[in-house]
Amino acid sequence: MLETSLDIQTIRKDFPILGRTVHGQPLVYLDNAATSQTPDQVVNVIVDYYHRYNANIHRGVHTLSQEATDAYEVARQKIQKHFHIGKSHEVIFTSGTTHGINLVATGFTSFLKKGDEVLVSAMEHHSNIVPWQMLCERTGAILKVIPMNVEGELVMEEYHNLLSENTKLVFCNHVSNALGTVNPIEEIIEGAHKVGAAVLIDGAQAAAHIKADLQALDVDFYTVSAHKMCGPTGVGILYGKEAWLNKLPPYQGGGEMIAEVTFEKTTYADLPHKFEAGTPNICGGIAFGAALDYMNGIGFDAIAQYEDELLQYATERLLSIEGLKIYGTAEHKTSVISFNIEGVHPYDIGTILDKLGIAVRTGHHCAQPIMDFYKIPGTVRASFSFYNTKEEVDKLVEGVERAKNMLL
């Protein structure tokens, strides 16, 4: 395997939090699938905004408002370029992936009728299950599930069998947050379009690892959260094809999303403002653009290569622990490992690891149907980013072994 071209120790200096201690131990942060850390280059942009040009956007003629508006719209263009989106007004700023999914699910209420079918995959986050259940309850549509196998891969033959002229919507995550599986979204999108169905891909877990080309994918909707990819919390984007965004009704009413308001009738603004009611997370949007600059400066190919190196190393080391089982052994994975030790509850392992300064996630990871499939209460999830090291993997393995010896 090729050694990484990244200077990891220099990169780590951009993240001061990685130098802190927890319970007297050096922090080993392995919960990146929940939230990645934020480098100084992004934090400095946030500070600069509040120090120099904090103002509301799109409405003011004064200098600060113009500067804030310009910075916000430049960030939209950065996002457009990064994801290879055709038009900047197809980028809708949201509070995050969940917001984007709910916007689409609510908008489709007027398009579905009793007997229509909505497909979701068996490995979805609750945010990509519950909104569609609510949509089906409102419309009488039927929710159907694309099954998965024990390796944590979708059974694509069954997916194609489920598709029919009744299929109106298909929803799938690009990468499973619980298992790390990279799903074959190209095949999913192509199959759905053959029967005239629209497709929304949840890109929250993929965006930190995979630079998606949304025009090449021909996807109808794609959602992302900034905090998974070195940006701040509370901001994300929904990409939608212009034709779909024009069809969907506004998600919220308020300032910014209107063209004209009288007590008799209101007309709505053009894209993207139609879906951006109220004062947005201005600073968050600008910082999202800065986070993309930072990650692109490192290079997504180099990031992917190094994270795969970490994944392979951690997988081999963890499997050396007797009684440890990894859930999610798909051929194509990002740097996520979910595991359990026979006879030990994952919460107990996570608690001991925390006392050793090691941050992992435990539980069902907002993907309870996956845990039900494996008949387990949850897993310990270690998720790696480009600023993690093999030495940190070694500390994780030592910590898991220590926890096992204490609990068994």
**What are the residue numbers of the active site?**
366
**What does the alpha-carbon distance between residue 280 and residue 231 come to, in Å, rounded to a whole number?**
16
CA distance 326 to 311: 12
Contacts of 406 (CB under 8 A, 6+ apart): 352
Is residue 241 packed enough to be buried (19+ CB in 10 Å), middle (13-18) or exposed (0-12)?
buried
Burial zone of 265 (CB within 10 Å; 0-12 exposed, 13-18 middle, 19+ buried): exposed
CB 79 within 8 Å of CB 203: no
Q: Rounded to the nearest 10 degrees, what angle do helices 63-82 and 40-52 cross at?
A: 150
Token digits of residue 90: 């197809």
Q: DSSP characters for 203-265? A: -TTTTTT----HHHHT-SEEEEEGGGTTS-SS-EEEEE-HHHHHHSPPSS-SSSSEEEE-SS-
Q: What are phi and psi for residue 367, nearest 5 degrees?
A: -140, 55
Q: How many CA atoms lie within 13 A of 204 on its CB side?
A: 29
As a three-state string, the secondary structure of 29-64 is ECECCCCCCCCHHHHHHHHHHHHHCCCCCCCCCCHH
φ/ψ of 201, rounded to 5, equals -110, 125
DSSP calls for 346-384: HHHHHHHHHHTTEE-EEE-TT-HHHHHHHT-S-EEEEE-
Secondary structure letter of residue 387 according to DSSP: T
- Cα separation, 337 vs 325, in Å, equals 10
